[in-house]
Structure 1
């Protein structure tokens, strides 16, 4: 085992979830991982990202044969989008903002938080940076092409979707501005 095989294991675990659920799960605000057991299955953006990240952390620990990510690290990603970004920034010690979010600058498996409004529900508690949406960068095993996996209700298709990273950046350019978007490295130790 090389010293970085754990990051590949984390990525493979996230990709397995992406393959299993993309296109088969609808968006429902407030639905977390348990929503995948509903009929029909549902989840929201932070529930999906938290599930991907915690699965990646568990796989990294198994591959490394030691504790790289604690139960507290995994619990810190099972929260709302704004807190998820804040918790990952605190652990990693760094964050990218706005126009720094490019394909060239993003760390591996970046988690990206965006201000996308949301109406009255978004005022239910103080939201650091006003983040109301979160997405997860995943890598396809084999060729390592990067994609954005997200649960989205504001555009079609509604629900879990997968978009090539370059296309997602192009489509999201109005949000990739300072004080509107932030990216963190979730697997920094």
Structure 2
């Protein structure tokens, strides 16, 4: 099964917000309406996935009311359950946990390569032990999350992420191979996990 509509929906968000939104920990999608706009890593990933999965479950064309009626009458189009989508609106460690629990699929560390990753993988990383992470139980210690997206015209994979740092904080876009090379220290330390939210529709 392919998910061109969902992939295209994520790419539209990436094109709209990359380089235009800052980072602020604890701020979710509502931060995009702030002045200046801000968001954190889990908020950005949840927004990308929610838009993708909802787009795949929505009939093409028609008004919202017509689409809702069509959705009720065409169950085959309702690929993703509402509770699965709602479960993505949590912090980074829980997003990885919920997708793994609901799909039974996860890759870790050395299993993660450009060839083994799902087309639009969601990837969690343990990046140190910051004091702010102590407010929630984090069994894997995941403190950052990113989303693989696809450029429609050539299917090239990129990593989209919201990250706060000393250099260019905010939403950024990096070719997948470059991002994997940069993440090798975490991969070698068994501090990276990848899941596939699109398997929620299987």
Q: State the TM-score, normalized to the length of structure 2.
A: 0.88
Question: Residue 50 of structure 1: which of 40, 46, 50 is its match?
Answer: 46
The runs of at least 4 consecutive aligned structure 1 residues that moved more than 4 Å come to none
Give the 3 Å change call, closer, same or farther, for CA 63–101 of structure 1 in structure 2. farther
Query: What is the rounded CA distance, in whole Å, between the counterparts of 2:4 and 2:167 in structure 1?
Result: 31
Question: Residue 94 of structure 1: which of 105, 109, 113 is its match?
Answer: 105
Q: Which residue of 2 aligns with 1:125?
A: 136
Secondary structure of residue in 2 paired with 1:78: coil
Question: Residue 120 of structure 2: which of 109, 123, 127 is its match?
Answer: 109
Query: What is the rounded CA distance, in whole Å, between the counterparts of 1:128 and 1:29 in structure 2?
Result: 20
Q: Please tell me whether the aligned partners of residues 31 and 39 of structure 2 are also in contact (alpha carbons under 8 angstroms).
A: yes
Q: Which residue of 1 aligns with 2:70?
A: none
Query: What is the rounded CA distance, in whole Å, between the counterparts of 2:54 and 2:172 in structure 1?
Result: 23
Unaligned runs of 5+ in 2: 61-73
What is the CA deviation profile of residues 106-146 of structure 1, one whole-angstrom value per residue up to 9, with x for unaligned ones? Answer: 01100000001252101112102000000000000010000
What is the CA deviation profile of residues 1-34 of structure 1, one whole-angstrom value per residue up to 9, with x for unaligned ones? Answer: xx53xx1101000000000000000000000000
Q: Whose Rg is larger?
A: 2
What is the CA deviation profile of residues 62-119 of structure 1, one whole-angstrom value per residue up to 9, with x for unaligned ones? Answer: 2586211111111111110000000010121110000111101101100000001252
Give the alignment's Cα RMSD to 1 decimal.
1.4
2:15 equivalent to 1:19: yes
Describe how 1:177-188 pairs up with structure 2 within 5 A. Answer: 177=188, 179-188=190-199
Give the 3 Å change call, closer, same or farther, for CA 166–63 of structure 1 in structure 2. farther
Number of residue equivalences: 185
